[in-house]
Amino acid sequence: MKRTLSVVVPIYNDEDCVVPFYERALPVLESLGLDWQIVFVNDASKDASLERIKEVRRRDARVKVITFSRNFGYHAAHLAGIASVESDLYAMIHPDLEDPPELLAEFFREIEKGAQTVYGIRSKREEPGWIVFCRGMFYRINKLIADTPIILWMAEFSMMTRHVRDAMLRNRTTFPFLRAEMSYVGLRMVGVPYLRVKRPLGSSHYSLWRMVQFAIGGFLASSTFPLRFCLYLSLLMAAAYPLLWAAFGWSLAVAAQVATIGTFLFVIATVPMLALYLARTYKNTTARPVYHVDPLSTWL
C-alpha cells in the first residue's frame, strides 16, 4: 500500500498564485510514487482565492480546502492544515513559488534515508540590505537566547513524518510558532540549501510592522530569557548601586536622585516584557482555539 502525503498550502489573498502553484507542483508530486493531496488553507481571503481553489478542485479531487471563519494568521493556517488530515507524511509550502515545489522531491529522498524532518535552508535572495540584516539578527538572537535548540535560516518550508506532526500537535499553546516547535521535537533533522527566488506572483502581505510582530512572537515562543533578564538586571543594579555611591561619594540627596532615576529606567526596561509574558500566559490559560473553520467552504 502506498504511503500518503499531505501538502499544506496557506492562502491569504493569493488568487494569482493558486493555479500556477498547482500546475508546477503537480508533476513533482506525481513523480514521488505516493498517494498525495494538496490542502489549501484559506485564511479568510478577501479576493478570489477560494474561487481559484474550487476551480482546481473541480479538475483534481486530490485538492482539498479548509476555510477559516475569519483571518487567524499564518501559523494558524499551517497548524490547521496538518491537524485536519491524516497522512504518513506532511509538507508545508507557500503558494507564491518563492520556495520551489521541485524541492519536495529532495525532501522526500531525505525522508527515505531516515530523516524525520527535512527543511529548506534559505540562501541569500534579492532583498534590500536592511531586511537581510534584520532577518539575520533575528535568527542569531533567537538562537542565542532560546531555551531549546533553534536552527538558523529554517522556516516552515519542510516535510515531516507523522510522528513529528503528532508531537507538534501535542503542544497546547495558543501562540504556535511552528519552526520552533519542529526543532523542539528534535529527532533526525536534515536541511537542504536552496536559493529563494524573488516572488514571481502576487505581492507580499508582510509590512515592516508585521515583520516586527513576527520577530517578537518568535522570541516569546522560544525563550524565557527576557524574564531572566529582569532578574539579572535587578541583581546588577543592586550590586552596582552601593559601589557607585561609595566610589563617587554621593550625598544622601544625590544618592536618592540616582536611585529614583535607576528605578524608573528599570521599570521602563522590564515591565513591558513582564506584561507581554503575562498576557500570553492569560491567553494560554483561557485556551481559546487557535482557529475556527467555516464548514460551508471547507471540503476535505
- b vs e for 38-66, b when ≥16 Cβ sit within 10 Å of the residue's Cβ? bbbbbbbbeeebbebbbebbeeeebbbbb
* % of the chain exceeding 90 in pLDDT: 44
- For residue 231, the one-letter residue type is L
Are 6 and 29 spatial neighbours (Cβ–Cβ below 8 Å)?
A: no
Measured CA to CA, the distance from residue 122 to residue 94 in angstroms comes to 13
- Which residue shows C-alpha cell 536618592? 256
Measured CA to CA, the distance from residue 122 to residue 114 in angstroms comes to 22
In the prediction, which pLDDT does 258 show?
87
In the prediction, which pLDDT does 71 show?
93
pLDDT band at 94 (very low <50, low <70, confident <90, very high): very high
Average pLDDT, the chain: 86
Each residue of 173-206: pLDDT tens digit?
888 777 778 888 878 889 898 877 776 666 666 6
Q: Is the pLDDT of residue 243 over 70?
A: yes
Mean pLDDT of 138-154: 73
Measured CA to CA, the distance from residue 16 to residue 205 in angstroms comes to 14
In the prediction, which pLDDT does 54 show?
95
Residue 161 sits at the vertex; the CA angle it makes with 159 and 167, to the nearest 5 degrees, is 110
In the prediction, which pLDDT does 55 show?
94
Nearest to 65 by CA among 300, 294, 296: 300
pTM of the model: 0.83
Residue 31 DSSP class = T
pLDDT band at 82 (very low <50, low <70, confident <90, very high): very high
Measured CA to CA, the distance from residue 237 to residue 247 in angstroms comes to 15
DSSP 115-148: -SEEEEEE---S--HHHHHHHHHHHHHHHHH-SS
Q: Is the pLDDT of residue 30 over 90?
A: yes
Mean pLDDT of 120-138: 71
